[in-house]
Amino acid sequence: MAKTGRRADGFDVIVVGAGPAGTAAAYTLAKAGIKVALIERGVYPGAKNVMGGVMYSQPVGAIIPNFWDEAPLERHIIEQQYMMLSADSAISGKHRSTQYAVQPHNRYTVLRAKFDAWFAGQADAAGAYLLTNTVVTDPIIDNGRVIGVSTDRPDGDLYANVLIVADGVNSIIAEKLGLRGVIDTVNMALAVKEIISLPRGKIEDRFNLEGDEGATIDIYGEVARGMEATGFIYTNKDSLSVGLGVILKDLVKSGLTPYELLDEMKNHPTVKPLLAGGEPREYLAHMIPEGGYRAMPKLYSDGVLIAGDAAMMVNGFHREGSNLAMTSGKLAAETAIEAIAHQEFSARAMSAYETKLNNSFVLKDLRKYKNLPGFISSRPQFFNVYPQIINDAATEFLTVDSVSKKQKQWKIWRQIVRGRRPVRKLLRDIYEGWRAFG
């Protein structure tokens, strides 16, 4: 006991939040023989968690090898479709590869309530203390160093040498620690989702799938009346996950409810037939961090590390969040393991976490795209002008009538240039967009 410096009634590490980041951390710690408490406010892990639904297998596999044998997964994805909507039309492109058909499959759709419960169960079986239905209300700080947390339960204080904060996009603990300020509404999206029951056979027919194969559709353009938003349709075993996310600032300004917008998207002429015959069986909503690298809080301090959505680790353009969360959780755990071995919990010791993140795709990717969120937010034309232009151009191009092709070309060009977007602005958007991609 003297070796770990742990209090008799305390833990080595406390992890707040049993989502992908927190559970990945707790699992890694438990497997290393560290005494870890994983505290979750939901009645069971997953009860309060929502995502569109795509789980990337690599980071999960790095934590639990061959997880696909036991984990509750919906379908493995063999087809990715991108759809760009305008008010009355859509352009889409699909990608499929036989490479995706081979195990280990790269991507799976999951339902968070099932997956998270299973994942946390793995951490529990590995030795982590899973404490559910408990809210962590405050950090306990002594001489500037975090030494534990207070919870809403009677006798609810718990002590540990390291605190891993993984309590999600609205992290109260990160805020109370002063590591995170109030998040600007331009850096958050409100996402709403419906799970629509549809028999397996219908899903497989409609999306051209066999067995447990799945397809994902990401929807861009005029998804939500031209506001900064994206939508999705993902196939589960016997249901579809359908939803959209709108940047909070835009949504608040519009005075609309997200469900109204979701209904409109669902009724889009290209989207509607994909959902035909389905019965909505569940409604969910959640906030998503959208600010990227520039909106991230401080990632560590004395005795504390922040992981996952609490650290705003979402790569919105690539639709990646859970993989960043799990990887950051794993790296936070590794940092804690080293800190415990050296009995050193200062900010300096904790800084190894950021180093590890910098050396991994997590911060590398987030840094690469650091200008993208700002760029997109300042260019509403990507949502309310270009989609229409491109769709109109395509419609004109594909309409066979008595207009000569050369005339058509001019017509399209004139529409773009005179009507909506002067050439120089168009060129600048293209150039700056390319730069924003890092």
Partner 1 sequence: MNIVVCVKQVPDTTQVRIHAETNTLIREGIPSIVNPYDVHAVEAAVAVKESVGGHVTAITMGPPQAREALKETISLGADDAVLISDRAFAGSDTLATGYILSEAIRKLHGESPIDLIICGKQSIDGDTAQVGPGIAQRLGFTQLTYVIKIREIDVPARRIVVERQLERGHQVVEGQLPALLTVVKEMNEVRYAPLPNLIKAAKYEPRLFDLESLGLDRSLIGLKGSPTTVRRIFAPAPRAGGEIIADGSKTAAEAAALLIEKLQAEKLL
Sequence-ordered alpha helix ranges (H) in 297-404: 322-342, 347-350, 352-358, 361-368, 372-377, 381-384, 386-398
Sequence-ordered alpha helix ranges (H) in 45-127: 57-63, 112-125
Q: Does 157 bind partner 1 (CB under 8 A)?
A: yes
Gap between the Cα atoms of 319 and 122, Å rounded: 26
Binding residue for partner 1, selected from 25, 34, 85, 130, defined by CB under 8 A: 130
CA proximity to 229, closest of 207, 250, 260: 250
CB of 129 to partner 1, least distance (A): 4
Q: Does 36 bind partner 1 (CB under 8 A)?
A: no
Q: Does 138 bind partner 1 (CB under 8 A)?
A: no
Binding residue for partner 1, selected from 7, 153, 294, 408, defined by CB under 8 A: 153
Binding residue for partner 1, selected from 7, 31, 96, 114, defined by CB under 8 A: 114
Under 8 Å between Cβ of 174 and 16: no
Q: Tell me whether residue 237 or residue 421 sits nearer to partner 1 (CB atom).
A: 237
CB of 383 to partner 1, least distance (A): 37
Q: Does 156 bind partner 1 (CB under 8 A)?
A: yes
Binding residue for partner 1, selected from 12, 124, 218, 365, defined by CB under 8 A: 124
Q: Count interface residues toward partner 1 (CB under 8 A).
A: 17
For CA atoms 166, 376, 190, 215, give the dihedral sign: negative
Binding residue for partner 1, selected from 7, 31, 44, 68, defined by CB under 8 A: 44
From the CB of residue 180, how many other CB atoms can be counted at a distance below 10 Å?
Answer: 22
Q: Which stretch binds partner 1 (CB under 8 A): 63-71, 123-131, 137-145, 183-191?
A: 123-131
Q: Which stretch binds partner 1 (CB under 8 A): 127-135, 174-182, 187-195, 420-428?
A: 127-135
Q: Does 69 bind partner 1 (CB under 8 A)?
A: no
- What three-state secondary structure class fits 337? helix
CB of 127 to partner 1, least distance (A): 8
From the CB of residue 117, how many other CB atoms can be counted at a distance below 10 Å?
Answer: 20
Q: Which stretch binds partner 1 (CB under 8 A): 146-154, 192-200, 364-372, 398-406?
A: 146-154
Beta-carbon contacts of residue 269 (< 8 Å; ≥ 6 apart): 88, 89, 90
From the CB of residue 364, how many other CB atoms can be counted at a distance below 10 Å?
Answer: 12
Helix, strand, coil distribution of the chain in percent, nearest 5: 40, 25, 35
For CA atoms 105, 106, 108, 112, give the dihedral sign: positive
Q: Which stretch binds partner 1 (CB under 8 A): 130-138, 324-332, 353-361, 419-427?
A: 130-138
Single-letter code of the amino acid located at 267: N
Q: Which stretch binds partner 1 (CB under 8 A): 148-156, 172-180, 243-251, 356-364?
A: 148-156
CB of 151 to partner 1, least distance (A): 6
Q: Does 202 bind partner 1 (CB under 8 A)?
A: no
Q: Does 60 bind partner 1 (CB under 8 A)?
A: no
Gap between the Cα atoms of 35 and 10, Å rounded: 9
Q: Does 131 bind partner 1 (CB under 8 A)?
A: yes
In the complex, the residues that contact partner 1 under the rule CB under 8 A are 9, 37, 44, 114, 124, 129-131, 134, 151-158
